[in-house]
Amino acid sequence: MIRRAWRWVARTLARPPRAAYLCALVAVLNALVWSIIVPPFEVPDENGHYAYVAQLVQAGSLPHYIATSPDLSPREDATLEVVHAFRLPGWPQNPAPLTSADQHVIDAVERQDLSARGSGNAGSASDNPPLYYALEAVPYVLSPSGSVLDRLALMRAFSSLFAGVTVFFVFMFLRELFPGTRRVWSVGALAVALQPMFAFISGGLNNDALLYAFAAMLFFALARMFRRGLDEHTGLAIGLAIGFGLLAKFTLLAFAPAAALAVLYGLWRARRDGRGPALRGAAIAAALSAVPTLLYLALASRSVTPGGIGAPATTLTGAHTSLRAEISHIWQLFLPRMPWMAPQFPRSQLWHTWFMGLIGRFGWLDTTFPFWVYVLAAPIAVALIVGALTTLARERKRLRRHAFELGVYVVMIGGLCVEIGVESYRTLVTSGGIFEQPRYLLSGLCIYAAIVALVARLGGRRIGIALGTLIVMLALAHDLFSQLLVIGRYYA
């Protein structure tokens, strides 16, 4: 069974065209560039993610959230201080270190033999599952110096590799979706590889990078199942993506209901061809989806590896909540407010949080383009969506054959929105804080790539090629100007 599965994986990985690897390489290079230009600890929650890995390596245990003390390790805290990590967020007029005098202060701290062992606190990262951090422990240990900045740079570079994995699976997803139009696979995958927010997060130390990779793998596995049927191999791919994706970040749970629906559909479709392989595939998918997380939860709660799953930041004890308000909150987080709904937000979240955020809101959400850039981007985004819908309308016969599959993708994105909405509402009623960030939508990058690919299918070969090239050039320009924006913000 394992040998067969390995043969399937090897066959799957051996078959992709060279372009899949080249698109993945573009994603890795782009994330690497972002990893170098963004100053240390200016990717959201990077201080906590670093502390999580340090805790795993230095103490051999999982971290636990300590609300009363923000201290991490003496070495990390001293470094955070001298690189001005907390004086930059929220103050775009505060730059990163600019002079050799600043560098001397940093060098002096790095020369001190401060303890790398922390309090056990990893801040906002404390409650995360451990897979990403266990992988990041490798560059942490392999770093030739014990310097926090060296380790962080190496860990960021390692994280950039996940951007390549994500784009590889995006390419494979598009290949399953549009088997007859090779050129759109590259166009869609490159649009993702050059998406600045994706590269910014993947080039930082953040477990979202691994989440995106498993999310893309899940989309690919489901698309493959819809075309080739449910069997042991597709079941294995679905199970691996969900099981290990959950160990990267629990956010992947948003896709589980839709994936379960897809597997049930696979079982139903297999009724004529014999259910044996399909049943085995479903069993493998279910087992692999659940076992890693259950094992982690059991180990963490039994304190075999002490810590983890600390006090959840969003328990609703004592908070005033209402289901009606929560539904309204989730709706308004993504869609325009209906007349009968009480306002949940002071402004349109679709525009301010999601659209503007995905066009560019870097650093700790404080580095933005001038407003006219977002205004300029809006008609381009609308044109892309209209273009994609036009292609869908033109190909409605084919679409009808894949209606259930399309429905599954819609449920996946819907699940993600509901999950973000629930967390947003809970954060609001418990602490008055704001949870939502544009990066949370990037688990659905495959759908973004599919929209781009649909546009590139418009108007036959010649126009399609021109459109595809134009989209990729726009994506490259968007990426480049985003990098210049970040350089201007931190170094000027």
Partner 1 sequence: MLVLVLVHVLAHGRTQIASTDRVDPLAFVVVLTPGSRLCQQDEIVPSDTAALRMTIGTYGDPGPRLAFAVTVPDPAGPTATRLLASGVLAHGWQQGKVRIPIAPRVRGNHTGATVCISNLGATQVAIAGSTVLGDYGFNDYLNGRYYAAEVRVDYMLPGRPSWLEMVPRLAYRMTLGKGGVGAIGWIAPLLAMLALAAIVVRVLLAAERES
CB atoms within 10 A of CB 275: 15
Q: Should residue 480 be labelled a site residue for partner 1 when binding is judged by CB under 8 A?
A: yes
Q: Should residue 373 be labelled a site residue for partner 1 when binding is judged by CB under 8 A?
A: no
Among 150, 366, 395, 423, binds partner 1 (CB under 8 A): 150
Answer whether 52's CB lies under 8 Å from 63's CB: yes
Closest CA to 278 of 225, 324, 328, 337: 225
Interactions with partner 1, residue window 110-139 (CB under 8 A): 110
Q: Should residue 415 be labelled a site residue for partner 1 when binding is judged by CB under 8 A?
A: no
CB atoms within 10 A of CB 487: 12
Sign of the Cα pseudo-torsion (223, 206, 61, 122, in order): negative
Among 128, 147, 159, 443, binds partner 1 (CB under 8 A): 147
Residue with tokens 């600043």: 102
Span interacting with partner 1, options 144-152, 340-348, 385-393, 428-436, rule CB under 8 A: 144-152
Closest CA to 125 of 203, 66, 69, 42: 66
Q: Should residue 483 be labelled a site residue for partner 1 when binding is judged by CB under 8 A?
A: yes
3-class secondary-structure state, position 367: strand
Answer whether 28's CB lies under 8 Å from 160's CB: yes
Site string for partner 1, 176-215 (x = CB under 8 A): -----xxx-xxx--x---x---------------------
**Smallest separation (angstroms) from partner 1 to the CB of 13:** 19
Q: Should residue 102 be labelled a site residue for partner 1 when binding is judged by CB under 8 A?
A: yes
**Smallest separation (angstroms) from partner 1 to the CB of 373:** 11
- Return the structure tokens found at 250: 């629990």
Interactions with partner 1, residue window 349-368 (CB under 8 A): none
Among 14, 68, 69, 100, binds partner 1 (CB under 8 A): 100
Span interacting with partner 1, options 77-85, 233-241, 361-369, 395-403, rule CB under 8 A: 77-85
**Smallest separation (angstroms) from partner 1 to the CB of 181:** 7
* Closer residue to partner 1, CB minimum distance, 22 or 309: 22
Q: Should residue 78 be labelled a site residue for partner 1 when binding is judged by CB under 8 A?
A: no
Closest CA to 266 of 233, 240, 302: 233
* Closer residue to partner 1, CB minimum distance, 87 or 227: 87
Interactions with partner 1, residue window 25-64 (CB under 8 A): 25-26, 29-30, 32-33, 36-37, 39-40
Answer whether 285's CB lies under 8 Å from 263's CB: yes
**Smallest separation (angstroms) from partner 1 to the CB of 304:** 35
Site string for partner 1, 437-466 (x = CB under 8 A): ------------------------x--xx-
* Closer residue to partner 1, CB minimum distance, 92 or 414: 92
Q: Should residue 153 be labelled a site residue for partner 1 when binding is judged by CB under 8 A?
A: yes
Interactions with partner 1, residue window 238-297 (CB under 8 A): none
Closest CA to 102 of 437, 435, 491: 491
Residue 99 is given by DSSP the state S
Among 1, 14, 68, 99, binds partner 1 (CB under 8 A): 99
Render the burial of 217-244: b for 16+ CB within 10 Å, e for the rest: bbbbbbbbbbeebbbbbbbbbbbbbbbb
Determine the Cα–Cα distance for residues 153 and 156; give it in Å rounded to an integer.
5
What are the E-state strand segments in 236-362? 361-362
The string of DSSP codes covering 310-322 is -S-TT--TT----
H-type helices in 112-147, by residue range? 131-142
Answer whether 200's CB lies under 8 Å from 34's CB: yes
* Closer residue to partner 1, CB minimum distance, 95 or 257: 95
Residues found near partner 1 in the complex (CB under 8 A): 18-19, 22-23, 25-26, 29-30, 32-33, 36-37, 39-40, 82-84, 87-88, 91, 93-103, 106, 110, 144-145, 147-153, 181-183, 185-187, 190, 194, 461, 464-465, 468-469, 472, 476-477, 480, 483, 487-488, 491-492
